[in-house]
Amino acid sequence: MLLPERVKHRKQFRGRMRGKAYRGSMISFGDFGIKALEPHRITSRQIEACRLIITRAVSKTGKYWIRIFPDKPVTKKPSETRMGSGKGDLERWEAIVKPGRIMFEFNGVDEARAQKVTRLISAKLPLKVRLQTREEQEAI
């Protein structure tokens, strides 16, 4: 699973997920990209599940790139704990994804296979995604 080696602050505020992604919204490395259509927090476990799907699909024929990284710590207090006594302990790491962000890229497969990979990944993620090709991007 992905997690940062060191961070400046162990605990962060939740923040807001307003606006669209302008950085990371273009396909840079592969022929196909999986694009987020709505804002959401993606956990490191979900990223790992998607990585396994992509690895199975393109391992022999192509290459893949993960364009998101879970760098936001999420804390949680134990259940049945009284109010107060500070912020909870670190539970997991999440990546903040805004609409338009290319989360994964890959190449070395045909378009039908890429559609199948996108469908499998959409089942693992809590947000709507779509397949974007480099040709679609250049046409815009």
Judged by DSSP in three states, 74 sits in strand
Does position 59 have pLDDT exceeding 90, yes or no?
no
Range of the domain at 59: 40-77+89-139
Q: Which residue has the tokens 């070395």?
A: 108
CA distance 72 to 43: 9
pLDDT higher than 80, residue 42: yes
**pTM above 0.85?**
yes
Residue 20 in any domain: the answer is no
Q: What is the CATH number of the domain that holds 46?
A: 3.90.1170.10
Dump pLDDT digits (tens) for 3-33: 999 999 999 999 999 999 999 999 999 999 9
Which amino acid is present at 49? A
pLDDT band at 123 (very low <50, low <70, confident <90, very high): very high
Residue 46 counted as domain residue: yes
Position 134 in a domain: yes
The C-alpha R_g of the chain, in whole angstroms, comes to: 17
Domain membership of residue 118 (yes or no) is yes
Count the domains in the chain.
1
Predicted confidence (pLDDT) per residue in 74-99, tens digit: 999 999 999 999 999 999 999 999 99
